[in-house]
Amino acid sequence: MEGLNNMINSTKVRGWLRGFEVSRPEVDNVEITHLQYADDTLILYDADEGQLKMLRVILVLFEGFSGLRINWRKSHLYPINEVHNMEALNVVLKLEHCLHHILGCLWGPNLSHMKSGTMWLRNVKRSSEDGNHNIF
């Protein structure tokens, strides 16, 4: 999973993939593009078709370089706030599940400045039969 981490970080540095800024008044802003824990990966980005196409390229390249198989049927897009083009975004990743309002993430008293975005969830597990990896 370190390879996927490096690929996402490289696209973030080049400005091809943007995450969400998290900040407090007394601390500098931090941009979060992805979170990984054990065999779970959350990728956070703007609700933008161009960024989703970049994410698809990253995942297909990761699949080719790592030898891991991506199970797109078990991958999901979760909207954060109001995302008007969820069907179009699902088509880019060729996902079957389209969730419209699962995460109404509202933080803080003044939410007019909040941007919308999407989160992509993956789960990586090792197959016990042949030692191959499957990404769900």
The predicted structure's pLDDT at residue 7: 87
Instruction: Answer yes or no: are the C-beta atoms of 18 and 28 closer than 8 Å.
Output: no
d(CA 53, CA 49): 6
pLDDT tens figures, 17-60 = 888 777 777 777 788 888 887 767 788 877 778 888 888 888 88
| pTM exceeds 0.85 | no
